[in-house]
Each structure stands twice: as C-alpha cells, then as structure tokens.
Structure 1
Amino acid sequence: MSLPIKNHRASGRVTLSDVARAAGVSPSTVSRALRGERAVDPALIERVVAVSDKLGYVPDPAARALASQRSNHVAILIPLLSNTLFVDLLDAAQKTLRAAGYQTLMGVTHYDSSEEEQLLREQLLHRPAGLLITGLDQNLATQKLMARSQVPCVHLMDLPATADSETPYCVGFRQIEAGASLTKMLLQQGRRRIAFAAAQLDPRVMQRLYGWRSALQEANLYDPTTEWLNPAASSLALGGIMFEQIMQQRPAVDAIFFCNDDLAQGALLAALRLGIAVPRQVAIAGFNDLTGSDQMLPPLTTVRTPRARIGESAAHMLLTLMRGETPEKPLVDLGFEIIQRQSS
C-alpha cells in the first residue's frame, strides 16, 4: 500500500510534514530522528528513516534554518589542514558534534585575519547553531561580527591571561607556561646557550617564544642573538635549513627549542646528514608531539599538547551553550606534558 502524501507545494517537493504525517509523529520528532540524536529511540529513528526513504524526502537546510533562526550546522574555523595538530582537533570536535545531531562547516583561515573575517561572514549566511574558532586574536571586524550574530562561540587552543566578566568561552592550555617549562627542563639538564627557532610566527608561537625568553631571563642567560625567527610556513625542510644556519652562525649554542615538531624533525634529519651528534653536541626539542616524533633518531624531546581533548571538550562546551545553558567554567585549561626523550 502506498503511503499518503498531501503535499500542496507547487514544486511537488516532499516536505518534513509529509514524512511526519506518514510516520505518525510530529515534524520536530522527524527532524531529531533524521539528525540521529541519541535521545530518540533507535526503533523510531529506523521507522522515520524508512518512511523518509519511501517518500524520497530530501532535507532542505535553508528552509530549516529560516524557520528556526538556526541550522543544525556548527561552523569551525582552523588555521591549516596540513598540520596534524588541527586535524586531530577537528576530528575529535566533529565526532562529538555529530553524535549530538550536528553537522560541521569548516573554514581554513591560513593564519590570515582578513580571510578569517570573510570566512565567518560566509558561514553566518548559513545561520550556524554554534561556532568553534581557533585562538583569541581575531581582528576588530571579526569580533563585531561574532558579537552581533549572537551565535554561541567557543575559542580553541588559547587561554586569556586572566578571567573576568568579559572572558570568552575557551578550551586550551597556557602556551607561555609550556614554553617556559620546556626551557627550564633544558636548563636543568645543564644547557646554557639555548636557542629558540620558530616559523609561521602566529600568536601561539610568539607566546612560546615569550615563555622561552622569560625562563632564560630568570636564569640570567637570555641572549637575543639566539632568537631565530622566520615567518615562512613551517616544514621539515625549513627546520633543516634553520638548524644548519644556527650551527654555522651560533656554534656555541648547546640546545635548540623549535616552536613545533615539524621543524625539530627536520633539524634531527639535518644533524644526521651533517654528522652532528644529538644530544652530545647540541640538544634538540620540539612542540606538540606530532606523529613520528617518537620514531626519530634520536627520539624527539617535545611538549605533548592535548589537541584531541581540546576538540572534544570545546564541542561539549558549545553543546551546553547551544542548549541555552551556562558551562560550569568559561575557561578549561587542559594543560600539557613535557616528553623527555633521547634528543636532549
């Protein structure tokens, strides 16, 4: 027996109400069932999906967003997809949001504030239910867009120095503290001429630089000539080049703190090629504990950052905000871990 369809649209398009009528449930139940929300009984989801398939229903996200003033999409803005750091974060956030019935719209900013602003303008056209955005360094225009949209928002990776009534919702760790902690560990190992080598030079990298600098200043060992900063994109190749430059121009350096593992891995490969003994001649350390760092020769000392946990925790915080509830804490500090291996 064919299912009754009372569709009065001129286009003949099957509507959500048609599916609800045929399945004997409300339109809101159909909507939640088709999103796969865990609160909906699995048997009911199966029935609604079967009816939807039978009728040939295709969801209209634009109509849904217009009716509710919000869609079931969450916008996520990250700097790069070529960096494992952000891939891990995105994967964890997306899994958490999908389990709650939300889809994700991703934008890649390439560390460009103007591109971030434009991407946000485009995302807001889709009436997102929420926003996950990397960092706290948005330009003024982006900040105004976020405020005017009133879309619930959680910031990723960064934490403000202090919390007050104006503090945004954030999940991350303290980059300055992490940079200082790794530097102090190298100092405790007896290193006295510790260079800092960095690429990309985004705000989080500069915070690690500040942590390195403050630790050396505290020990009366800071030397500005051992800051090696390059605005180019980070890569293994650049790490090798920077290592060679430092060893040629600053041969007294006995340790190098690279701002991320890509550079440090490239430095270890260059040391092997040049016959420079690590860590006997120079210690090498990185940041983020990316894939492969524990397999280098020698294995890389680094800072392990909780990127997957940041993505998951931020998504849970955003879900709380999208329900109209207030999270227990506006700031969630997930910390970091110093991983000491044989390269130092």
Structure 2
Amino acid sequence: MARIGSRTTGRPTLAEVARMSGVSPITASRALRGVTTVAPELAAKVMAAATTLGYVANPAARALASARSHSVVVLIPSLSNQLFIDTLEAIHDVMRPRGLEVLIGNYHYDTAEEENLIRNYLAYQPCGMLLTGFERTDASRQMLTASGVPCVHMMELDGDADALAVGFSQHQAGRAAAQHLIERGCTRPGFIAAQLDPRVMQRAEGFRQALAEAGLHAAEREVLTPAPSSIALGGELFSRLIRQAPAVDGIFFCNDDLAQGAVLQALRQGINVPQQVAMVGFNDLPASAHMVPRLTSIRTPRAAVGRVAAQALLTLLDGKAVTPARQDLGFKLMVRESS
C-alpha cells in the first residue's frame, strides 16, 4: 500500500489529494479554495478525495509555525445554554495560566456545521481539541484522526471506546429521574423533551427503561419536539401533554428551562404542583431553586466537566497518559418542593 501523508507530519498532503482525484496540485488547490474557474465535476472529485483522505489545508504552517502550541479549540452545540457557559468558563480557568488561547466553535446542534468548524480550525493547527459528545460525521472523524491533534470528549461517556471522555452517564440520569417519580408514588409518569440531541435521547432511553421495568411506561404520556429548549416552550409542551394525557401525575423534563416554564403554566391553569403533577428537571439551573414551588432537578457537573476535560488535555499535551480513559463525574438529584 502506498504511503499516505507527508514525510515530516504523516498528515495527508495536497499532492495526494490531487493524485487521488486525477488533477494537478494547482487545480486541487483552487478547488479546495472554492475558485469558480474549476469545472464543477473536477471540484467534486477533489472534495471527495479530500474527505476520503481527511485532508485539511494548512495556511498556518506558512504564516505561523508556532500556532499548534498556543491554541485549543472547544466545540459546543450552543452558546445560549447555561450548561455550556459554565463549562467554557471552567475551561478558560484551566487554560489561561498555561498561556493557551481558547477558540470557541458553536455548531448549533448541527453535525454538518461542526464538520465545517473542524475543517476550518484544523487548518490553523490547534494543539488540542475539546469536543462535545460523540455524534459527528464520518468526514469529521476522518479529519480528526488524520490530524493527530489530541482530543478529549465532554458531557457523555457512551461512545468511542478508544476516546478520552469526561462526563457522566446520561442514561443513568434518566433512570434516576424515573425512579424518583416512582418513589414519590407516581403511577402515570410522563416525559417532555426538546432539542432532541443525542444526550437528551440517552436520558429518554434511561427514563423509559426504568418505567418499563416498573410496568409504567406509556408512549402517549410523552411530548417531544426538535425545537430549541426554552421557558416559553416548556409551558406550551406542558399544556399539550395535559391535553393528550390528562391523568399524568409526574413529569421528567429534559432540561430545567422546560420545567420552569411548566411550573409557571401549571400556576396559570390552576394545577397544583406536586399534588396533582410532580415535576423533575435536569441540569439544576440557578433559577430552579427559586421557583414556586422550588424545582426538583438533577444537578450536572458542568463546570467540573470543563475543568477536568481541560486538565486531561493538558496532560496529553505534556506527553503523559490520561487514566482512566473514562472519567465519570456523576450527577446529583436535588429534591425540592416540586416533587
């Protein structure tokens, strides 16, 4: 098999992309830069070859040879979610004393957008990357592997067995919510979720599994939407669930903002919480402890995840091994008046 990658770095080269696509290096370069004079069919061949090889253009190598030693890329799915704000703050606190610049990429829960961010950021040779979760495109995986850049995954643990991960079991968190509602005497528990990213669905799976084991799961007591999570949406989804399953007596919400909206909507509709409907949120956002009634929620270690993940990445950059490869920081059920 022919050798792939440059002699010095081992990474795929422009010459290899050109050879695989059957064009000259100049044409390949123009196609990758989006020059419109390149015939569309040739440009398509070049992009396909680049994806297959995991090739990433490297303007930084010409402009700033030391770029790899000063930049850490952090890719998150949202900048409007308090969860990730707390995580980013912790990452900055760890990286700043080491003189490392933190580059933030927000991909809005879109793996294609994340792929573009990975391609663009790898062009500047970051010394490391912190990634959220494990769901990404094959092209993203190929680029990350080919780049050789150290990576640490955050927020979940169930993914690539060979990857370093810092987080907690989303599945077990969902089970904990179900078990709490059952212990509180709920016999018709329901589930409300938005965004529906992989971590939400892992929590949903754990919640459903625990209910099924107790003989209490019913699909009609669920309302799910891919719309972004918000307090306003929480009120709307609560009203929808009450209409379609009036007998529901407990609800697990995939995020606290939905639960907060539901608490307010229940007040407007004259529904007593928790006497008629118990409520459990997720993430334990700051306002949850000040709702009326105060919201029961699963507290997640979002700041600790950022701190430990950043420390793990620094360990890799120092040439040391990180053990264990899976660092489970756990979660805590904060029982309050809503359940």
TM-score by length of 1: 0.79
Q: Does 175-184 or 68-77 show the bigger shift?
A: 68-77
CA contact (8 A) 1:173 1:336 kept: yes
Is residue 2:256 matched to residue 1:261? Answer: yes
Q: 1:174 aligns with which of 162, 169, 185?
A: 169
* Correspondence list, 1:310-329, <5 A: 310-329=305-324
1:141 paired residue number = 139
> Equivalent of 2:104, from 103, 106, 116?
106
How far is the alpha carbon of 1:190 from its aligned partner?
Answer: 0.5
User: Which amino acid in structure 1 is aligned with residue 96 of structure 2?
Assistant: R
2:46 corresponds to: none
Determine the structure 2 residue equivalent to 1:270: 265
Distance 1:152 1:134 in 2: 14
Instruction: Report sequence identity in percent.
Output: 52
Instruction: Give, in whole Å, the separation in 2 of the partners of 1:63 and 1:157.
Output: 32
Q: Aligned partners of 1:145, 1:315: CA distance in 2, in Å?
A: 21
* 1:121 matched residue in structure 2: 119
1:80 to 78, 91, 98: 78
**8 A contact 1:65–1:126 mirrored in 2:** no
Deviation at 1:337, TM superposition (A): 0.2
Q: Which has the larger radius of gyration?
A: 1
SS at match of 2:124: coil
- The within-5 A match list for 1:62-73 is 66-68=64-66, 70-73=68-71
The question of whether the paired residues in 1 share the 8 Å contact of 2:60 and 2:67 is answered with: no
Paired amino acid for 1:172:
G
Counterpart of 2:131 in structure 1: which amino acid?
I
Unaligned stretches of 5+ residues in structure 1: 1-60
Paired residues of 1:197 and 1:257 also in contact (CA < 8 A): yes
- The CA distance in 2 between the partners of 1:177 and 1:223, in whole Å, is 20
- In structure 2, relative to structure 1, the CA distance for the partners of 1:279 and 1:127 (3 Å cut) is same
RMSD value over aligned CA atoms?
A: 1.6
Alignment coverage as a number of residue pairs: 281
- Distance in 2 (CA, whole Å) between partners of 1:189 and 1:107 is 41
- Distance, in Å, in 2 between the alignment partners of 1:128 and 1:67 is 11
Matched, 1:158 2:153: no
Matched residue SS, 1:326 = coil
Q: Which residue number corresponds to residue 93 of structure 1?
A: 91
Question: Which residue in 1 is equivalent to 2:48?
Answer: none
Map of 1:295 onto structure 2: 290
**Alignment map for 1:144-223 (pairs within 5 Å):** 144-160=142-158, 166-223=161-218
Question: 2: CA distance between counterparts of 1:222 and 1:65?
Answer: 59
Assess if the C-alpha contact under 8 Å between 1:74 and 1:128 holds in 2: yes
**Where do 5+ consecutive residues of structure 2 fail to align?**
1-58
SS, match of residue 324 in structure 1: coil
Q: Hey, what's the Cα distance between the residues in 1 that align with 2:246 and 2:66? A: 64
- 1:67 CA displacement: 3.0
